[in-house]
Amino acid sequence: MDQRGSGILLHITSLPSAYGIGDLGPEAWAFADFLEGAGQRYWQILPLNPTDPIYGNSPYSSISAFAGNTLLVSPDRLVEEGLLSKDDLIPIPLFPETKCDFSEAIRYKDRVLERAYQNFVLRGMERESFAVFCADNSLWLDDFALFVVLKKRFDGRIWNQWPKELRDRNPKSLRSVRSEWAEELEKVKHRQYLFFKQLYLLKAYCQEKGIDLFGDLAIYVSFDSADVWANPDIFNLDSEKRPAFVSGVPPDYFSETGQLWSNPVYRWEVLKESGYRWWMERIGHHAGLFNVVRIDHFRGLVAYWEIPAGEKTAINGRWVEGPAEDFLKAVTEHFPRLPLVAEDLGMITPDVRDVMDRFGLPGMKVLMFAFSEDNPDHPYLPHTYKENCVVYTGTHDNNTARGWFENEASHEEKKRLFQYLGKEVSVDESSWAFIRMAMMSWARWAILPMQDVLGLGEESRMNKPSVPLGNWEWRLLPGQLSAHISESLRQITTESARTRS
């Protein structure tokens, strides 16, 4: 974090591909080439854990905090590696170019990965590498494979509704499953092997190009996950293995009832007794995948809003002190060279700022929020930034800069924007006006959503938090990364002294 730099926010699913969803294949490598040519140093992505249509395909709701999303495995790379033939890819459905088709991609990738596994078995390819992968990742992989197989066996039921002996992980019952379903367990592990092999190859290629991968770590995990099933003691569950309390945020200016999340809260006192072992394993896993890690909802480490399970809103919750200082000491001792970024948006109190300052953690600044009030010292206005922060034009949860300007900004907000810029800008100029403010700011890092670099409107936003369906579908079109875009980005990066020294 000691040098000025900039990068692009673009999730892997948003890359072009012929298979209904962006993947870790040739287009990902081509995007790394684009970043290098445009003078960028960082590629920020969203969580890469498995997604599910039940949860709207959100990367923030997953059955595992460790496993990879095998929808992102590239069929083209499997052909290059000899694990598939081109004929194995046929028939390819007629996928839309403009958005992710999750449901059809799931069906297609399931067939292709099944064929890859059968070829793996028949030809004995990479058996040794696969065995090493399974051994190196056994701490999470064995339980994840069991979870996936059992969930399929019980028609997708939540794990605490499984037969008691499996819900409670009776050793004899688990041995029986391992014996009876050995091939299915190996299939699950093989798909994870393919995912992580491709991700590590992409990371290595990015490193060759001088690009650091910037990952995202959600603070909470889903209740219906391998993590909670395998580690019930570290989550606040009742005697029937149901959440006793769930997470959320209290009522505020934006919501009279707050936000009620379904994630179970941690038993931090139990985690502390083990030296936060599960968390250290999780962060270590991410440290191997990424060069920088953002901790989502960082304030939950300092104090978190705990709501009794069964409540219909977040009103009747309470603040509970978190383990921030002790926990972060453990993290920095284990991973002294891992740059961490704190997601500090929302209700941030002085104690959160104190912890961030004590550990030197950069927070986030979102330019889109800077003009909401007539306040020359607004904390998101660029002239107020301390150097140790990351500025964004917007995040994956916001409208695009152009979309905000066209459809959300009030007359007063536009007036304040024009006053700050010293001139009026048109709709077509709005995205790059935000980009210039971000790049010229004091913030050490500037991260730009790809949609803003392309000047795209509201139709291209990634997520609308209040809308359950139709999110996470935006995709980059083939040919949109033009030489003109690359040169414009390189020029402003050079002007703002953000090129790699």
What separation in angstroms does the CA of 27 have from each of 72, 147, 463? 12, 32, 22
* Residues 11 and 22: beta-carbon distance below 8 Å: yes
Q: Where are the alpha helices (DSSP H) in 252-349?
A: 268-273, 277-289, 299-302, 324-334
Of 407, 370, 397, the C-alpha closest to 385 is 370
User: 278-288: b or e for each residue (b if 16 or more CB lie within 10 Å)?
Assistant: bbbebbebbbe
C-alpha–C-alpha distance, residues 412 and 425, integer Å: 14
Residue 214, token pair as written in the block: 């910037």
Q: How many CB atoms lie within 10 A of CB 175?
A: 10
397 is known as an active-site residue:
yes
Q: Where are the beta strands (DSSP E) in 231-371?
A: 245-249, 259-264, 292-296, 303-308, 318-321, 340-342, 363-366
DSSP 404: I
Burial of 264 by CB count in 10 Å (0-12 exposed, 13-18 middle, 19+ buried)? Answer: buried
| Length in residues, the chain | 501
DSSP assignments along 12-81, one per residue? GGGS--SSSS--SSHHHHHHHHHHHHTT--EEE----S---GGGTT-TTS-S-SS---GGG--HHHHHHT
Could you say which DSSP state residue 405 is in? Answer: I
Tell me the one-letter amino acid at 77: R
Q: Which of 23, 36, 143, 296 is catalytic?
A: 296
From 212, 227, 343, 452, active-site residue: 343
The single residue of 397, 406, 429, 458 carrying the catalytic annotation is: 397
| DSSP-derived 3-state class of residue 100 | coil
Amino acid letter, residue 153: R
d(CA 13, CA 66): 18
Phi, psi of 401 (to 5 degrees): -60, -45
Q: Catalytic: 186?
A: no
Write the DSSP string, 439-473: HHSS-SEEEEEHHHHTT--GGG-S--TT--SS-S-
Token representation of residue 444 = 């050490």
Antiparallel, parallel or unpaired: β 245-249 and 303-308: antiparallel
Which residues are CB-neighbours of 211 under 8 A, at least 6 positions away?
7, 32, 35, 36, 40, 41, 42, 43
DSSP 8-state assignment for residue 408:
I
184 classed as catalytic? no
Catalytic (active-site) positions: 296, 343, 397
